């Protein structure tokens, strides 16, 4: 599996556009800045919805009304983050593929995605029985707490990608080398 991932990343690295982006004076920074700034839109809205479901904030406003009002900007923010994220990956594909922080981030992104899907399904199923004020059903509060934990992890691991503590050129243990996917292609 590691060899397949590194082969794919090496193939992407062969594109002129990938090198041009990585070596660009401004473009890479602008895309990364957009990736970071969109956090406020995406995670800012998501956190308000999750904190409402947990009953920690805006407990006097019906949760479905908050979710309905913030859903569109949240989804737009999410789409921009995913697009800019893939462009950042395309610019430095091999090093990013071999970053344990990026790998942990992808695992948490998938977990956060599955949790969001289950959460939305549960909200739709309970929509007509949800209380207008106060705490939400336990199943929804668990989903909101997991959501906050997963996305906090995505942010921390996203930030850690910039640090080369466990990059393949370092003196890694066999386990860390496997985790980072350090393979020599024939």
Residue 25 makes contact with ligand HEM by CB under 6 A: no
* Positive/negative CA dihedral, 30, 33, 35, 41: negative
Residue 162 makes contact with ligand HEM by CB under 6 A: yes
Closest to 61 in 3D by CA, of 124, 131, 3, 116: 131
| Residue 169: alpha-carbon gap to chain centroid | 26
Q: Closer CB to ligand HEM, residue 83 or residue 183? A: 83
Q: Closer CB to ligand HEM, residue 143 or residue 158? A: 158
Closest separation in Å from C-beta 101 to ligand HEM: 9
Q: Which of 54, 136, 146, 154 binds ligand HEM (CB under 6 A)?
A: 154
Closest separation in Å from C-beta 59 to ligand HEM: 26
Task: Count how many Cα atoms sit within 13 Å of the Cα of residue 46 in the half-sphere of its side chain.
Answer: 27
- Residue pair 78/42 in contact (Cβ under 8 Å)? The answer is yes
Residue 94 makes contact with ligand HEM by CB under 6 A: no
Residue 89 makes contact with ligand HEM by CB under 6 A: yes
Site for ligand HEM in 43-62 (CB under 6 A): 43
- Residue pair 170/164 in contact (Cβ under 8 Å)? The answer is yes
Residue of minimal Cβ distance to ligand HEM: 85
55: left (phi over 0), alpha (psi -120 to 50) or beta: left
Which one-letter DSSP state was computed for residue 134?
S
Residues that bind ligand HEM (CB under 6 A): 32, 35-36, 39, 43, 78, 81-82, 85-86, 88-89, 96, 154-155, 158-159, 161-162
């Amino acid at each position: 599996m590691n060899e397949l991932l590194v082969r794919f990343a090496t193939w992407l690295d062969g594109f002129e556009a990938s090198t041009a982006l990585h070596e660009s004076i401004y473009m890479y920074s602008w895309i990364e800045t957009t990736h970071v700034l969109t956090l406020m839109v995406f995670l800012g809205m998501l956190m308000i919805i999750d904190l409402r479901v947990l009953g920690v904030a805006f407990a006097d406003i019906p949760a479905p009304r908050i979710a309905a009002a913030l859903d569109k900007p949240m989804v737009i923010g999410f789409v921009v983050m995913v697009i800019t994220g893939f462009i950042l990956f395309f610019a430095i594909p091999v090093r990013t593929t071999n970053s344990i922080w990026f790998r942990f981030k992808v695992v948490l992104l998938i977990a956060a995605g599955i949790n969001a899907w289950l959460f939305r399904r549960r909200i739709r199923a309970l929509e007509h029985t949800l209380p207008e004020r106060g705490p939400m059903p336990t199943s929804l509060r668990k989903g909101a707490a997991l959501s906050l934990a997963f996305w906090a992890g995505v942010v921390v691991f996203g930030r850690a990608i910039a640090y080369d503590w466990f990059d393949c050129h370092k003196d890694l243990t066999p386990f860390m080398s496997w985790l980072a996917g350090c393979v020599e292609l024939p």
